[in-house]
A and B are shown apart, each in its own frame.
Chain A
């Protein structure tokens, strides 16, 4: 029999007891308990790999729990598929959007609704919901043409059309500008006002403190605490998530200013779109000087990937003078020639781009450095000096505190954070004059992220030029001496750290012209 007496004062919509999921050796979720009341915004906090995504996938029916119980409105349920979750009244907005780029917004929405809904009606209903919640949307637009923020609106409208009682949002603000995030919070407040419950997954502590009524904190697949986030500080929440104090990144202002030698000079860099949905680069100019860290902010998909490919030499330029490294025109030369000039590159995608997944760490090190360190690593006739390579690999592992299970494991055997530490360490070990990193700490736990950020600052202070492309604004504000913003293939002039605020950078991310700040301030006041 269901015991209802306990839940009378605070009707629990969802109750989870002892939910467990095992992948091979790893307990991704270990006896998770969680209750969500009607009309509350409940935060699910934890680092990458803490088990948040696995837990919500079980609640949404895309993964099957190994053990444990889910109760919906007091009754035990088995959620075998996303369709069943939707029938119960659970909707989900995915982190990596589950949208189809080649289809229109209306077609995307149609795919998640009941089959008997005529497609013609869907555009109409989508317009109604979009007007009611202040989420502008063009049902006929092709998703591939839309910005990330617009795509998220489609996901949310699609979810709302199913009239869910519980909405799961997985890291919704990680792809938004600060202003877009504010809009999202307004929508969520309204939904709470209508009595809907929200499970809000995030690692951004400030917004959790601002919005959420209760929080459940996960670490290594276990619940380590429930709390009221409004009664906590960001630091105390971070401690619960990480388990220890997080290393503070230290940054002093650089010396010398504009007199320092320019290492990377980009002049009028343009590039045609490589695919149907990729962004062209439109006349980007930027100088990175020795001793400084320049950050490049921007919402995902505004040309950052295309920019990185052009600067690293994965894609060549039409004109050799568009990219200069240490005074040499390199626009027509490839990645190895640019490396030989002292540049080092760390791409966004770790497996398959930054490292070959099935090769060992030392082989991966050799692959990226056999040209630049040919004297050390290669003997006559190109024979590999494996001892020297192994020693270099060991040096990197020690310098960056890479945790691994074997002496020289395959790259794919390392966790994301540890592999990223190795890849960054592999390039730092060369003491490059120019370091260009795309998304240095994406998917990396807080401890490793702090270590990577400190290493980048230290490299700059030792006299190198560092360019960091990131979608994480907190990270850029932590390490950069100036922040440039990419929007739709253009780049703003870098804002010196002293002048840069979240608001200014956010407006630039949303496409405002640099001269418009005074207006925005006047409007806000």
Chain B
């Protein structure tokens, strides 16, 4: 039983960075912008979060630094894509490459140094309950934050006027401009929100998941987050489900490998990706609903005529 609870606890820590990065990217894509630089923003958040946490000794200040650096780094993407109207795919890819290289350089002196770790929640009484106590009341604070974030983004997009405007811009930036909506302004804010989320996801990796800095520690999570957004048909609760399925199969296959199950390691390592895609494809079989939720102007540069 103790082992099972320990395993289940790690599922949430595996899912949380994916969830946070994917929710951020979902908002960016709902505004009609495709930012393929998620991986680069995560790794920049990871290195700056770790350094800030190490220097100040506070994991909270580390996470804050990760958020700020992620947002600032995405601003570079925003300037290129929104102000200079460059190709979004190429710009996003270069942001990833830049982030991976730059973080390696900045963090070179911090490799292998032990950093501060964010401690898990402890509520006397509740957390001590058998089984559910630690699962429901004993996670680290960012896990709760990420679920609140999902709820908040869902509410923002589908229940507020500003969210409606954001979705409208993603559907048709030309029509939005004709109505007098500041397309570029909204998109800047969306891109920076996405950057802040990716930064936080990175900070989580280097301050909570494995409290240390190693080069390339994002390990492709940015790409998984991007795929999650698409396979979840741009809907926040599906992103949450997808992230936890991925996390569960990921942790499950690690333990399966440890137990020496006679299946090639490569097949087990591929299982989380296959399972996540399979499940999300199956729940997105309603084509009409999927196409309706797909931001129609996704990835198209916008240049207002003046």
Partners in one complex: yes
A contact face: mostly helix, strand, loop, or mixed: loop
Most chain B Cβ neighbours within 10 Å, of A62, A97, A110, A112: A62
Of B161, B181, B288, B306, the contact of A63 (CB 8 Å cutoff)? B306
B171-225: which have CB < 8 Å to A? 171-172, 174-181
User: Nearest chain B CB to A80's CB is how many angstroms away?
Assistant: 10
| Interface residue tally for chain A (C-beta within 8 Å) | 26
Which A residues lie within 8 Å of B305 (CB)? 62-63
In-complex Cβ contact of A102 among B171, B174, B180 (8 A): B171
B180–A83 CB distance below 8 A: yes
Q: Which residues of chain B from 263 to 306 have a CB within 8 Å of any chain A CB? A: 287-288, 291-293, 296, 305-306
A276:B292 contact, CB within 8 angstroms? yes
Is the CB–CB distance between A99 and B291 below 8 Å? Answer: no
Q: Which residues of B contact A99 (CB under 8 A)?
A: 172, 175
From A98, A111, A142, give the contact of B165 (CB < 8 A): A111
Q: Are B178 and A103 in contact (CB under 8 A)?
A: no
User: Is B43 at the interface (CB under 8 A from chain A)?
Assistant: no
A100 contacts B178, CB within 8 Å? no
**How many residues of chain B are within 8 Å of chain A by beta carbon?**
23
Q: How far is the CA of A144 from the CA of B175 in the complex (A)?
A: 14
Given contacts A62-B178, A98-B179, contact A103 B306 (CB under 8 A): no
**Does A24 interact with chain B (Cβ within 8 Å)?**
no
Within 8 Å of chain A (Cβ to Cβ): is B113? Answer: no
A139 within 8 A of B: no
Q: How far is the CA of A142 from the CA of B288 in the complex (A)?
A: 12
A372 to chain B, nearest CB (A): 35
B residues less than 8 Å from A144 (CB atoms)? 292
Is B106 positioned at the interface, with any CB of A under 8 Å from its CB? no
Cβ–Cβ contact A103 & B175, under 8 A: no
Q: Which residue of A lies closest to B290 (CB)?
A: A276
Known: A64-B306, A115-B161, A119-B161. Contact between A102 and B167, CB under 8 A? yes
Instruction: Tell me if B171 and A101 are in contact (CB < 8 A).
Output: yes
Q: 0/1 per residue, A114-129, Cβ < 8 Å to B?
A: 0100010000000000
B131 at the interface (CB under 8 A from A): no
9 smallest beta-carbon distances between A and B, as pairs: A82-B180, A276-B291, A98-B175, A83-B180, A98-B178, A100-B171, A102-B171, A276-B288, A100-B168
Q: 4 other contacts beyond A81-B180, A111-B164, A276-B292, with CB at 8 A cut-off?
A: A82-B178, A83-B180, A103-B168, A112-B179
Instruction: Give residues in B with beta carbon < 8 Å to A.
Output: 161, 164-165, 167-168, 171-172, 174-181, 287-288, 291-293, 296, 305-306
- What are 14 A-B residue pairs whose CB atoms fall within 8 Å in the complex? A62-B177, A62-B180, A62-B305, A82-B179, A98-B172, A98-B179, A100-B167, A103-B168, A107-B168, A111-B165, A111-B179, A275-B291, A276-B288, A276-B291
